[in-house]
Amino acid sequence: MPAVAMTTTTSSLTPSTRAFRSVGRNRRVVVIHAAASGSKNDPPRSSEKRAGAGSGSSSPAIDRRRRVRHSMRVTRLRDLIEISPDLWAPAEEVEVAEDAALGDGLAQAVVFKEMLLASMHFRLYSQRDLGNGRYAVRFLMGSPRMEGLDDVQRVTSAVCDTCGPLCDEGLMSLVPDSECGMSVAEIQFPLPFLETPDEDAVLSRAATPAELRVERLDAVVRGLESQIIDESVVCLMEKGSDDRSTFFGKARLNKYFTGMHAREADLLHRGTCTSSSPTPGALEASREMLTRMWDGEEHADVELVDEVRARVEKLFCGGAGRMILHPSGTDAETMPLLQAVLESRALARESSDETSRPEAFRGEHATRGNVVSLVACAGEVGSGTTEASMGRFFSRSCPLGGNRVEMGQELPALHDLAEMRAVELVARGADDPTGAARDDYDAFVIDEARKALAADPCAVVVLHTVAGSKTGLRLPSPDVASLLRAEYGDRVVSVLDACQMRHNPTLVPRWLADPVAGGPVLMTSSKFFGGPSFGSGVFFPHASIERMNELLEAEPPATVAAMAEACASYLTHHDIGDVLPKLHDAMPPGFCNVGVLLRWAAGLHEMETLEAATAMHGGMENTEATVRSWVTATRSLATEFEPHLEYVPAVDYGGDWQLGGVNTIVSVRIRNSGGGSDSGSEYMSTAKLKKVYALMTADISEFLAPESTMAERRVASQRCLTGQPVDIPGGSVLRTVLGAAQLKDLVTGKQDLPTMLEDDRVLFAKLALIARQYDHLLSHSL
């Protein structure tokens, strides 16, 4: 794809005193009256590259950029109908004289139109003669890689809604267009101030009104471009995920109350165990990644995805493995499942006695595989894990293809190759009033694995060792994987579920390098590290990659094609890369998953900045000591809000299984204050806690009971994001956690521990306040 140079975020112009001011969140200054910061000997400005000053003919730069405009506007679905530039000219040929009158509407419209045509971020729609020397230019806004007209309409509406001065002063409006059935942006000309010298004109390099016209229109276009890019980044970051990433309203929040706009500074974020919005720095990293994609021509997708893979491998693999990118930790189950399918089919091909297999795997089905996934810590790992681990859709929408599917529906083609089922192994004892983990859990898992393997000599078990559940459990113990792998070898695919990423950096390379227990590792950028939801991947040891490639070579092309078809609901060939070449080559051609790429860019920002902060401030020893200090103090805080809150004791496993050797998830139960469907229970149910979770994200000060104190209203006004509730025996819990951004603030000294703990005290105080006034609060329509 041909590249077009972008000059969207920097300007040689400095705002004058009459520059429009931004208003509200996400609004930016759009400079209308501007002055040049340099002399007439400075290099040509971007305005001179966009259009000739006062000339009706376009510059060579515009001609060159116009020639490539169509290729730059390619979209994923290729459903944007572009109108030829020839149709944008007025009905008759018009030449705009250099000495066009001040406020000449046609002259302004022609220059503006040329600038829009030279930019990759606008879709021109029409130019209208309104009579009496007035002209209107109508246009749509949206950067390359928009997936369709709905996205372009959304970006156009968002920019018109947040562009501040242009709309506030009635200079740009969103108007319905009967011909296209959409709303389009419209600017009407003439705009007299574009050419009228003011007190700052002496600072400008524009010598004539015509030059001033170009200079100021250029500033307008560049200001709009910057906002279009911002909105396009957010729009594209939302793409390529499942229905957990469905966003609503102007704020574009999902059901977790997070989105792709930058995390607001006044939000107390303690919910990285569930979901996060990007920090401003992370969002800027995504913006930079997207800009590089636009600049990188047709090879950008390959190069940038490979770059992300290499950066993540460098951070976590220690040279012991390779990575396949995934949209989420749940659909990442597909890769270990595929490994198990390949192993089971190889065993079936090598079997000399098909009568030793169950009846369903004889005759024409003799080479069919048989895979059993053991889902450890069931109910406390990613939503939909059970469905995903047996090759079924866990969401009503899939990341790629725009397809709507049914929950539990089989992935395409994969079930023709193997039987797949899952066994959920709940870790906590239902009879234990505290909800503690089962003492016999390891034996329970081993027994289930042996039963599955004994039922069919060609069966393969996918064993999950969870390195931190939603409440921080590490189960089963790693000894289970070592024992079963030593006994059954490749018939056990030993998976480390490290999706929470709350461990010491040495854990992943140690697991990948373990010749006995080691195997694939599921990981994410969107839990502990606080990258936007969702970004994930699977690490494979080099030995596993070599084995999978051997097995893929042994399969007929039709089988590899069937596997590729199943993977294509989640992955592009870019995500697989050179890790599994035969599978890569069988995948459909096309773009990368831009949403995953941009979310990973944001996640990498958090990962790499924490690594840098750790290196600069005392190393891992100091970072882990900081973790322990926060955890110890926060657990103590949680006990101070009895009887409304009850701290649920955590398990610390030590070693590299937990960062600092402690559980960074602090769980509390909330006691019922009376009333409601579960009023007979001591603790609030999961359904109630979901409402508490939502109340925590809002300023509820005006809805408190009349007798509430000013101190309570201050607490109620603090917006907090916790972890979502988890249903465990003994009573459901809400969670507050330590995330990478918090840890980085503590390590660098940006925030000291006592100050941070005061924030955490407010969070617990608000939970206790909601517990006391729950019934009153729910009597309002919040």
- Do 536 and 528 contact (CB within 8 A), yes or no? no
Q: Which two tokens stand for residue 303?
A: 């190069």
- The DSSP string of 41-91 is TSPPPHHHHHS-TT-SSPPHHHHHHHHTHHHHT--SS----PPPGGGGS-S
Q: Which helix (H) or strand (E) holds 169?
A: none
What CA–CA distance (Å, rounded) separates 662 from 660?
A: 5
Specify whether the CB–CB gap between 593 and 610 falls below 8 A: no
Question: Using 50, 70 and 90 to split pLDDT, how confident is the model at 751?
Answer: very high
Least confident of 71-80, 255-264, 338-347, 443-452: 71-80
Kindly compute the dihedral angle of the four CA atoms of residues 168, 172, 174, 177, in this order, to the nearest 10 degrees: 150
**DSSP result, 407-471:** TTPBPTTGGGTEEEEEEEE--B-TT-TT-PBPTTHHHHHHHHHHHHHHT-TTEEEEEEEEES-TT
- pLDDT at position 206 is 55
Instruction: Give the pLDDT of residue 480.
Output: 98
Q: In sequence order, which residues have a C-beta less than 8 Å from that of residue 751 and are 6 or more positions away?
A: 742, 745
Tell me the whole-structure pTM to 2 decimals. 0.87
| CA distance linking residue 205 with residue 217, whole number of Å | 14
Helix orientation angle between 619-638 and 753-778, rounded to the nearest 10 degrees:
40
Q: Which tokens sit at 141?
A: 């806004």
pLDDT digits 0-9 by tens, 599-621: 999 999 999 999 999 999 999 99
- What is the rounded average pLDDT of the residues 263-286? 97
Q: What is the pLDDT of residues 571-599, one digit of tens each?
A: 999 999 999 999 999 999 999 999 999 99
The model's confidence at residue 512, banded by pLDDT at 50, 70 and 90, is: very high
d(CA 196, CA 523): 59
Which whole number is the average pLDDT over 161-167?
70
Place of tokens 């983990």: 437
Residue 476 to residue 465: CA distance in whole angstroms: 6
Cα dihedral sign, 519-522-523-527: negative
User: How confident is the model over 515-569, as pLDDT tens digits?
Assistant: 999 999 999 999 999 999 999 999 999 999 999 999 999 999 999 999 999 999 9
pLDDT of amino acid 208:
77
pLDDT (tens digit, 9 = 90+) per residue, 181-201?
889 999 999 887 777 666 555
For the segment 275-301, the average pLDDT, to the nearest whole number, is 94
The answer on pLDDT for 55 being more than 50 is no
**pLDDT single digits (tens) 373-408:** 999 999 999 889 999 999 999 998 888 866 678 889
- Tell me the C-alpha distance between 421 and 444, whole Å: 18
pLDDT reading at 34 higher than 50: no
* pLDDT value for 178: 79
pLDDT at 4 over 70: no
How confident is residue 648, by pLDDT bands cut at 50, 70 and 90?
very high
Residue 202 predicted with pLDDT over 60:
no
Question: How far is it, in rounded angstroms, from Cα 485 to Cα 517?
Answer: 6
Task: List, in order, residues 6 or more apart from 298 with CB less than 8 Å away.
Answer: 1
Predicted confidence (pLDDT) per residue in 64-92, tens digit: 333 333 333 333 333 333 333 344 444 44
- pLDDT value at residue 105: 86
Mean pLDDT of the chain: 85
pLDDT exceeds 60 at position 25: no
